[in-house]
Structure 1
């Protein structure tokens, strides 16, 4: 890492001329990328069967979920590399690059021949596709969320940043809905032969739309070489923020991937619900994340401090997760599955915008995209990305169907501890 030059005066912040156009451009581009990245989890059981054949009950699913998690391993690298581009060259070129990388990874997955066709090369193609997707997703969060924050006036930062989590909800909703629709309409043979590829090809075909949208964005950050800190300097000066921020993200991420992404596989594999019904829980979780995030951002803007809201959210998740799963196990109906997904996702969504703001406002603007990308990627990589693999493995070795609840609660508890220790920077002081 090159040694940074002396610090110059702060570079001016560039305000886009059209707030509505800019919000739509960032939100739609973010949704397109996150859809491509998350749709994999809703076809994990089928991908496991076609690309990771196994004789054990959970073997194929575990391998598919591990492959889903592999995409998160390179997220810190993507966050660092693309975050540096965003801080050095501007947010716009970084956002455009992530679209190209995500499209390449999606193409590899959607077009890959199966294990029956080309043998061991097939799962290698899937892994390569997930690595590309993960690298792109690692840079997307930092660049797009920093863009939304810097674009907004300080009194509306929470509302603008909330569209980051709202588009995550929209991605989950569309991914789960596509799975439910295809499962309900197609025969098993058709779904295994070509139907499962359609959501990936859809994501690939709309990639050019994402490129066009990102091309219309104005720049919010005018970088100056003298203002760009090296990673070591950023880590040295803000190591407490980076560490505690990663722990805070860990809880949000673990709950998101257990409740929204893993639940359809859990309902189908463990509770033996029909796949088309099980996928509706993913739809419910995505819908509530989409609907609850903007009001949560509005609420964060009206609070003088973010931490009390986040403390309440994490405490509620800690108290309600186990009873919700126990209710579902006692009466494994679609109604109870939808109740669990709706209640826990709504609570989770209430804290997400405030969580993003808490971390971003503690970081300097000239290193914000890099810092947030690394915080988010590190917090998500193991505890979120591998959450589905971990809880499936725990169920397979322990036989305890409450393993997802215990795992989510453990991560929430650690995030609660990090939140207590986190030093909140007043919003009025954040640049």
Structure 2
């Protein structure tokens, strides 16, 4: 990746005396997003084990439902976090809000890693995990929207797609790292060690990302204080009748369009990158270390292909790349699941996962910059955070719970594909009404 410099000044203002490099901006901005998705990956891939440890009195199917349900409950707090941190970002600066999300996320992650199991403290164990997931969800609700907003605003129009797409590439990197850690632990530790202490290691190690993130973001915060971004992001908004009211009234249609776009992307993301490992264990009855490779491969694909999607959107337009990639994934996911079911081979599973992950990554790379382009600058962080958090809360966070229930209720192992298809169709609708701002400054 070419490391040029990006001015930290808002459009129409003088540049800061010392601009941060593209690489430095991307790493500092996306590290919180990577932290969140590393934790989500680890929790998702240990969902079966966590269900056994924290809900031992339930049946095997109920344990998994309770485990992925607890995973999903954390997403309930996302809209509230999206509103709070979005308002903070629009009023006091993007970096202030991002640092607060990082600290809250670290607190929730540490709580999961340190909570005793049901066998030790009874019902208090799943309650503490639930509280931890709510903290994680609250912080994550603001992290993605605010960080994506910052990347989009710091980039030039000609490179906005490529630079913003690294926010989603970081999700792939986190899924790759989390899956690889899960694979190593499940492969080299015996069952007793994994259940007693091994599963805790990635959560506790993940907490170390927080101080690193704060250190990297310190320079952005310093440079931001030398620009008028604070003024543009907050003072103008405060002159209105409140940022949130403005988003819900003046920007209501943009909010709806953004929400619909997020629904398609988040459903595919949580099925292709996270649920496929659980699917391989529970439906295909594959060993855990074999199933973990679904996450490793899909994470690697997203890391590499998301920036390609961003580049394509810079060249061919956001709407075109978003529409074609979403339509392709919607059409091909059911044949992919049918191929997995009929072939019954690990090679077919891995091939289908990689193909679906590639289509999703192109879509994410193009949709990422499209979302902040929908909103005016004064309410952008709030609008994007709220729409992203609401969409991910319902259609992403509970995706694994919904499809697990659907498979149990219908006996159809292809239920996850139908879920993604319905969400994908919804996400195609707003593309007929959105104005493409690919080559405009925002």
Asked if TM exceeds 0.5, the reply is yes
Q: Separation in 2 of the partners of 1:182 and 1:140?
A: 29
Which runs of structure 1 show a deviation greater than 6 angstroms over 4 or more consecutive aligned residues? none
The residue correspondences of 1:153-232 to structure 2 (distance < 5 A) are: 153-217=156-220, 218-219=223-224, 221-223=229-231, 224-228=234-238, 229-232=242-245
Partner of 1:142: 145
The Cα offsets for residues 121-144 of structure 1, whole Å up to 9 and x where unpaired, read as: 000000000000001111101111
Q: Separation in 1 of the partners of 2:120 and 2:153?
A: 49
Q: Separation in 2 of the partners of 1:350 and 1:29?
A: 22
1:65 to 68, 80, 84: 68
Partner of 1:4: none
2:56 to 53, 69, 73: 53
Q: Separation in 1 of the partners of 2:106 and 2:387?
A: 24
Query: TM-score when scaled to structure 1?
Result: 0.94
Query: For the structure 1 residues 202 and 253, does the alpha-carbon distance in structure 2 shift closer, same or farther, using more than 3 Å as the test?
Result: same
The residue correspondences of 1:385-400 to structure 2 (distance < 5 A) are: 385-400=397-412
* TM-fit CA distance, 1:428: 4.0
Q: Separation in 1 of the partners of 2:183 and 2:176?
A: 10
Pair 1:268-2:281 in alignment: yes
Q: Is the 8 A contact 2:179 2:295 kept in 1?
A: yes
The Cα offsets for residues 1-33 of structure 1, whole Å up to 9 and x where unpaired, read as: xxxxxxxx9984866602232222223343223
Q: Separation in 2 of the partners of 1:14 and 1:331?
A: 58
Query: For the structure 1 residues 130 and 62, does the alpha-carbon distance in structure 2 shift closer, same or farther, using more than 3 Å as the test?
Result: same
Partner of 1:17: 19
Q: Separation in 2 of the partners of 1:413 and 1:391?
A: 17
The Cα offsets for residues 159-193 of structure 1, whole Å up to 9 and x where unpaired, read as: 11011100000111111111111000000000000
The Cα offsets for residues 346-404 of structure 1, whole Å up to 9 and x where unpaired, read as: 01111113212222112011111111111111111111110000000011111111111
Q: CA RMSD in A?
A: 1.7
* TM-fit CA distance, 1:430: 4.3
1:247 to 237, 260, 266: 260
Partner of 1:317: 329
Pair 1:366-2:378 in alignment: yes
Unaligned runs of 5+ in 2: 1-9
Q: Does the residue aligned with 2:230 lie in a helix, a strand or coil? A: coil
Q: Separation in 2 of the partners of 1:430 and 1:372?
A: 17
The Cα offsets for residues 256-299 of structure 1, whole Å up to 9 and x where unpaired, read as: 10011011111001110001000100111110000001111111
- Range with bigger deviation, 254-263 or 222-231: 222-231
Q: Is the 8 A contact 1:37 1:133 kept in 2?
A: no
Q: Does the residue aligned with 2:207 lie in a helix, a strand or coil? A: helix
Q: Separation in 2 of the partners of 1:405 and 1:234?
A: 33
Q: Does the residue aligned with 1:34 lie in a helix, a strand or coil? A: helix
Partner of 2:438: 427
Partner of 1:295: 308
Pair 1:39-2:47 in alignment: no
1:407 to 419, 422, 429: 419
The Cα offsets for residues 234-256 of structure 1, whole Å up to 9 and x where unpaired, read as: 22111111112101110110001
Pair 1:286-2:299 in alignment: yes
Pair 1:233-2:249 in alignment: no
Query: TM-score when scaled to structure 2?
Result: 0.92
Q: Separation in 2 of the partners of 1:257 and 1:38?
A: 10
Q: Separation in 2 of the partners of 1:38 and 1:207?
A: 17
Q: Does the residue aligned with 2:390 lie in a helix, a strand or coil? A: helix
